Structure 1
Amino acid sequence: ADPAAWTLVLRPPAGDALWAPRAERALTAGRPGLRVLTPPPKVLAGHGICTTPGYHLIRPDGHIAAHGHLADLDRLEAELALGITGEGDG
């Protein structure tokens, strides 16, 4: 898989302007091709994406491969470490 084709959509908690940049730095470390988006809640709701603070990891074909809320970020980091975006291939 091409890790550059995966997208991580972050939904920060209200009132915490620093959460998304911190999460992005932590989750993209060593994954320079992983694209990160932090769209406004209105955009997320318009696409049927959960608006509870957390994340969606979206495959190149548009399928949501992983979804979780704030307490689930450790699980996302573990999934990324296992190479679900293909970075562990080879």
Structure 2
Amino acid sequence: MNHANLRAKVWEEIEHIPDNKILELYQLVHGFRVSAEPTAANPMSFAGCWSDLPEGIYSDLLNDVHDRRQQAFSERRDRESNSD
């Protein structure tokens, strides 16, 4: 059976789902779709502790971490080169 036929059969089945089960079906289908999508590695995921940060704050945090690391390693290089 090809994909088009399978999709048609899925839609037919969905049409027969009782209204009181639609939310449950949606959660099942949504969870399946999300788990099937490839995910980009997020170096700061920390098991979800950053997941509820607004995007702007998260971006600011990443930029701040990046800037502080550059500054720290820059100062370290300066100290190492002046230790003669």
User: After TM superposition, is the score higher than 0.5?
Assistant: no
Higher relative contact order (CA 8 A, sep 6+): 1
Whichever structure has more strand as a proportion of its residues is 1
More helix, by proportion: 2
In the superposition, the TM-score normalised over structure 2's length comes to 0.26
